[in-house]
Amino acid sequence: MPELPEVETIVRSLVNGARHNGLHVIRQCITEVRVLWDRTLANLSPADFTIQIVGQTIQKVSRRGKFLVFSLNKNTLLMHLRMSGDLRVEEAFAPDGSEAPLHKHDRLALLFESGQRLAFNNPRKFGRVWLVEDAQEVLGVLGPEPLDESLTVDKFHAMLQARNRLLKPLLMDQHFLAGLGNIYTDEALFRARLHPRVISSTLSREQSALLLREIRCVLKEGIRRNGSSIDWVYRGGDFQNDFNVYGRAGEICPRCGTAIERLLVGQRGTHICPLCQPLNKKV
DNA sequence: CACGTCACCTGCGTGC
DNA sequence: TGCACGCAGGTGACGT
């Protein structure tokens, strides 16, 4: 479910307690682990993961692309929620002292010294968790952060020029740029008036500049609105009410009144206004 | 290098 | 009500 704004929203809630009745994970010491689905752990067995993580304290939580980054005393815990993951912080024990039952589809839980816990819920089992000494082992392959100001228009344009790929799949390629997913890419392309099948190397510098600006705009707006809530997973944000094209096939383009179309690009459902986002360039 | 296809999973909405 | 089918915020391994 989550793209950059949703992951950012989750990170902030883990730090400040919003969404979790004020409970947060900062300075919580991990005392026990529950692994409910072994393959959640990407690089360690449940036994090794448990041995290594127990006793460590969460010092900091941050984000890189769509990864959650938990800085521990010694190691780094990385989580990727993929399509359907979510996290909860909650009291781990009932008033009578018994351990509160985990939820359906919870795949991993970290119990804290405080009696609280962090639960990793993941219906589709695509999400993964890593425990590593050097976060770069996993994060090193990622492209730049779209909101990082050190990604200049010049750099972004050069990156697009260097590749000969369909624009939308390229923007969603985490090695190229880290954080965009299907929704925010469709929204950014609509706002930049670019067709998802445009070849990246054909963009003018002005088009690259506009695209970068609109990518940042939709991501920032998503963060400001606490992300998007779609379907039955991850409720909390309300940016979905402001989508211009995503999930709006057949509805009217807010800019020109043309019917929004749904097509497939790189096997992903894609939403465009055929009038505002023509494929035949000429600019 | 770029692209298409499939695999990984569960659940929801739709249409018959 | 049941059931088959298509679809879903993601990614990586293949084959061409």
A220: CATH: 1.10.8.50
The answer as to whether A147 is a domain residue is no
In chain B, which nucleotides are within 7 Å of a protein Cβ?
1-6, 8-12
* Same domain flag for A20 and A134: yes
Question: pLDDT at position A20, please?
Answer: 87
The answer as to whether A145 is a domain residue is no
Question: pLDDT at position A100, please?
Answer: 98
Round to a whole number and report the distance in Å from the CA of A241 to the C1' of B13.
20
In chain C, which nucleotides are within 7 Å of a protein Cβ?
7-12
Mean pLDDT in order along chain A per 10 residues (283 residues): 92 93 96 98 98 98 98 98 96 97 98 98 97 98 98 98 98 98 98 98 98 98 90 72 94 96 96 94 49
* Same domain flag for A33 and A135: yes
Round to a whole number and report the distance in Å from the CA of A91 to the C1' of C13.
40
Range of the domain at A98: 4-139
pTM of the model: 0.97
Question: pLDDT at position A281, please?
Answer: 55
The secondary structure of chain A, three-state, reads CCCHHHHHHHHHHHHHCCCCCCCCCCCCEEEEEEECCHHHECCCCHHHHHHHHCCCEEEEEEEECCEEEEEECCCEEEEECCCCCEEEEEECECCCCCECCCCCCEEEEEEECCCEEEEEECCCCCCEEEEECCCHHHHCCCCCCCCCCCCCHHHHHHHHHCCCCEHHHHHHCCCCCCCCCHHHHHHHHHHCCCCCCCEHHHCCHHHHHHHHHHHHHHHHHHHHCCCCCECCECCCCCHHHHCCCCCCCCCECCCCCCECEEEEECCEEEEECCCCCCCCCCC
* Same domain flag for A164 and A125: no
Question: pLDDT at position A237, please?
Answer: 85
Question: pLDDT at position A232, please?
Answer: 56
